[in-house]
Amino acid sequence: MQNLDVQLSITIPSNLVLIERLEYRRLQEMELNGQWWSMKDLEARTSKKVDWIKENILYVHRFRRLLDVESGGFVYYPKTRGETWAFQAPQMAEFLDKHFRNIYTK
């Protein structure tokens, strides 16, 4: 087996910064801290329509137990007509990432 040592120099433009992936994730999470999403925000984040979100996430029993504020979750389910949905953004983003496979498999 042969080894080849190569020295490589890459110039990073002055308008860009190179950071570790963990730091990038931390910065993303900080951006969401204190943010609440509306249903419109959730639609934009998932690229799914409200009916799909309700049918495949919000009203699925195994998810609702985790999501509903009444069960200690981070989603406010409207109780009357005219009330709006509310989602704590950091927790909802984490939930969507963590449960992606479960959302798409029944």
The predicted-structure confidence for 42-74, as pLDDT tens digits, reads as follows 999 999 999 999 999 999 999 999 999 999 999
Helices (H) and strands (E) in the chain, counts: 6, 3
pLDDT at 25: 81
Work out the end-to-end distance of the chain between its first and last CA atoms, rounded to an integer number of angstroms: 49
Query: How many Cβ atoms sit within 10 Å of the Cβ of residue 89?
Result: 19
18 — pLDDT class (breaks 50, 70, 90): confident
pLDDT tens, position by position, 76-98: 999 999 999 999 999 999 999 99
Residue 106 has pLDDT above 90, yes or no: no
